[in-house]
Amino acid sequence: MTSTQDAAIPVAATGTHLPAPGSEWWRTAVIYQIYPRSFADANGDGLGDLPGITAHLGALADLGVDAVWLSPFMVSPQNDAGYDVADYCDVDPIFGTLADFDEMLATAHGLGIRVIVDLVPNHSSDQHRWFQEALASAPGSPERARYIFRDGRGEHGDLPPNNWESVFGGPMWDRITEPDGTPGQWYLHIFDSSQPDFDWTNEEVREEFRRILRFWLDRGVDGFRVDVAHGLMKKDGLPDYTPPADGDSMGGEDDDVPYWGQPEVHEIYRDWHEVLAAYDGDRALCAEAWLPTPDKTALWVRPDEMNQAFNFPYAMTDWNAPALRLVISESLRAFSAVGAPSTWVLSNHDVIRHASRLALTGESPQGEGIGPLSVAQPIPELGLRRARAASTVMLALPGSAYVYQGEELGLPEVIDIPDAARQDPTWFRTDHEKYGRDGCRVPIPWTAGSPASGFNDTGAAWLPQPAGWDDYARDVEARDPDSTLSLYRRLLAERRAHGLGSAPFTWIPGHRDDVLAFEVGDVTVIANVGTEPVELPAGSILVSSEPFEGRALPADTAVWLIPA
Ligand code: NOJ
């Protein structure tokens, strides 16, 4: 077979990857996402909490992560699992108290682990004091001006102000009843109707978020993961927009989606950059911005804006060597061009876990999720094998990598959650047509043979754990040298020992098209993304995603080796 690999690599990405300026920790860090609801539950109520996190941070230090990012634990009615915040500067009692937070932070710092918290600036909960004040005030009042209220269309204003569709399904607008009991204005919500969008053209909103940033910075956090960082500014006049029928909610490469990635949004992050710069210790901002290309995503990490942006184009790439080569090359080129590290991510609380996603029998658009009646179903053994190989590739790449809780155990997506137990607003807003994201959010297993597999000691769990969860328990995997946990520990240790986060990267030409081959620092990475074995070059194998004998690398396997 002739090699077409070289042709697939954009010229700018071959050769040495330019070292990024500076040595700030976030340029190379492995950051572990804690989803507090499902990590560890100290009080046994079935929902994870801050004391549970504190008690288990030792396991993360042992894994070898540099930092943790905590999904929201602030006061919230939990309509969108905490991404609907009612008070940005306090802890929801279901997770604990501010004192619990301080203890967690001090424990993490004592273990050398930095802590990033989630900030949700696009929208609040409808239970936020400001939204309640807006409802009680008149149209045109300063209270309404903190959100996006508009009169409806049609003779009686009973049609929504435009045709935008919520990301969770249904219209992006809901109509309120005015304080005098008459049908009233409409308010915009990109997500659930209980998540009204702020109006970021309003200086009062901007000042409030500077205050919120400082509140957490003063407590000692190392940075923020910024929710929906591409959504805060809407196009002037809120024009109608119909997404392409086959497109996803990100929009295509050339689409101007009037609520995503509007140019004015960058002013906000330049302002926040200044807020963080007044603090010591390289505090970081990471953008959650679902954009279709690395070039578009890189706009969020220009030198005077944020520090990192999730690389979703990479996360959404199938297990396909040419596609992976292209997105890796494009990412290194696009992010280096603005002096930022690329990030790498395969799983989080919004996507199908990659141990299932990488071997599905059909398409499953992002956010729809999979359940018992989905056409696309995972092939479990193949999925896990590919996930281990994909993680072996990811953790060698220069830049910063994100690991979602449970992926280090090889957890699959949970498919058979009973309908009555489902919680994701997507499930309700689409009349049960789309399963949504519950399958990647099930409480994780710690100890086999214990209640709730060691998530707590009562056996309660806010989403039911499936049969067989004990097989993935951390204590079981810790004893098995071939487990996914043992693989991740080796990968993180060798990544650190060989300085891969900041090492020069070069593709190695001359391999089959379905093989990924690159050098990063003194390590050679070979991944067999095809079906036929690949003869390995001479050298000693440092880490392998699967045990195998001899020098023929089996299908769906990746190795790190030190060339002879
Ligand atoms: C992105 C978060 O990751 C997701 O879980 C949430 O539903 C939306 N933003 C809305 O906040």
What is the tens place of the pLDDT at every residue in 151-200?
A: 999 999 999 999 999 999 999 999 999 999 999 999 999 999 999 999 99
Is any ligand 1 atom within 6 A of the Cβ of residue 351?
no
pLDDT, tens digit (0-9, with 9 covering 90-100), for 317-371: 999 999 999 999 999 999 999 999 999 999 999 999 999 999 999 999 888 999 9
Residues identified as active-site: 227, 288
301: left (phi over 0), alpha (psi -120 to 50) or beta: alpha
Provide the pLDDT confidence category of residue 261 given band limits of 50, 70 and 90: very high
pTM exceeding the 0.75 threshold for the entire prediction: yes
Amino acid at position 431, single letter: D
Distance between first and last Cα of the chain = 26
- Token duo for residue 431: 């009349």
Task: Say how far apart CA 426 and CA 437 lie, in whole Å.
Answer: 8
DSSP letter for each residue of 142-205: TTGGGB-EEPPBSTTS-B-SS--B-TTSSBSEEEEEPTTSSEEEEEE-SS-TTSPBB-TTSHHH
Is any ligand 1 atom within 6 A of the Cβ of residue 80?
yes
DSSP letter (8 states) at residue 293: S
Of all protein residues, whose CA lies closest to atom 5 belonging to ligand 1? 350
Is any ligand 1 atom within 6 A of the Cβ of residue 526?
no
What's the CA-to-centroid distance between 82 and ligand 1, angstroms? 9
Is any ligand 1 atom within 6 A of the Cβ of residue 84?
no
Mutation pick for ligand 1 pocket among 192, 228, 366 (CB with most ligand atoms within 8 Å): 228
Q: How many helices (H) and strands (E) does the chain have?
A: 15, 20
Calculate the alpha carbon distances from 57 to 281, 405, 469 in Å.
Answer: 21, 12, 21
| Tokens 């009612």 belong to residue | 86
pLDDT, tens digit (0-9, with 9 covering 90-100), for 490-535: 999 999 999 999 999 999 999 999 999 999 999 999 999 999 999 9
Choose among 176, 78, 161: nearest CA to 127.
78
Is any ligand 1 atom within 6 A of the Cβ of residue 287?
no
What's the CA-to-centroid distance between 525 and ligand 1, angstroms? 34
pLDDT, position 432: 95
Q: Give strand pairing partners of 114.
A: 67
What's the CA-to-centroid distance between 505 and ligand 1, angstroms? 33
Give the strands of the sheet with 515-520, arranged side by side.
505-507, 515-520, 523-528, 557-563, 539-544
Sign of the C-alpha dihedral, residues 442, 489, 312, 513? negative
Is any ligand 1 atom within 6 A of the Cβ of residue 120?
yes
